[in-house]
């Protein structure tokens, strides 16, 4: 069965809906006997602008950004938590924060995670950002690294300590070296 011809009323309705950011699949009920592909094809035939290029930003503002705003108005959250609660990607959350930075603030920072950076907890409403924690000193970073090695990879820590003992003995002149004559007759110690 062939699809019925497009009427002027359908064309006018499609032209009106085409300019709105809502996805076309949400208005299919207004076009009985028409599929989503038929709407797109008719829009192309009518030389309407490409919705894939023109609409995503507006659609995102009305959907994802509205959910993000609602979540932030009800609670404080990190970028990862916002993405999970608003059902969107972390890059979308970052774009939302950049666009609405004057209406948001950093309420506090969580302790540094795996990457060593503190995580910002965002809140809706203008105000002063929380003070970012001071960066760790090189000694604190090294101490944390060695505690982690001791806990998770003691064999690697043993190798590091052995090399350090050899370097120290060499520096203070206590490193025992094999006599070149003995090494020539019997081979090196490593063999």
Q: How far apart are the first and last CA of the chain?
A: 87
pLDDT in tens, 54-84: 555 566 666 788 889 999 999 999 999 999 9
Q: How far apart are CA 18 and CA 55, in angstroms?
A: 9
- Measure the CA–CA gap between 82 and 78, rounded to whole angstroms: 6
Half-sphere exposure of 180 (CA within 13 A, CB side): 0
Among candidates 86, 143, 12, which has minimal Cα distance to 78? 86
pLDDT digits (tens, 9 = 90+) for 71-122: 999 999 999 999 999 888 899 899 899 989 999 999 999 987 766 789 999 9
């Amino acid at each position: 069965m062939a699809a019925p011809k497009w009427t002027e009323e359908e064309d006018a309705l499609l032209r009106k809906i085409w300019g709105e950011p809502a996805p076309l699949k949400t208005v299919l009920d207004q076009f009985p006997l028409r599929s989503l592909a038929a709407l797109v094809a008719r829009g192309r035939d009518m030389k309407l602008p490409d919705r894939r290029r023109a609409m995503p930003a507006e659609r995102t503002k009305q959907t994802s950004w509205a959910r993000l705003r609602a979540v932030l108005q009800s609670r404080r959250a990190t970028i990862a938590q916002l993405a999970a609660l608003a059902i969107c990607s972390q890059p979308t959350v970052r774009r939302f924060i950049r666009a609405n930075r004057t209406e948001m603030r950093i309420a506090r920072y969580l302790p540094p995670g795996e990457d060593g950076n503190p995580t910002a907890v965002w809140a809706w409403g203008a105000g002063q950002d929380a003070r970012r924690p001071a960066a760790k000193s090189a000694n604190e970073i090294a101490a944390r690294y060695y505690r982690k090695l001791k806990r998770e990879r003691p064999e690697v820590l043993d190798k590091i300590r052995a090399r350090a003992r050899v370097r120290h003995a060499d520096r203070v002149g206590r490193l025992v070296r094999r006599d070149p004559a003995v090494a020539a007759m019997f081979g090196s110690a490593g063999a």
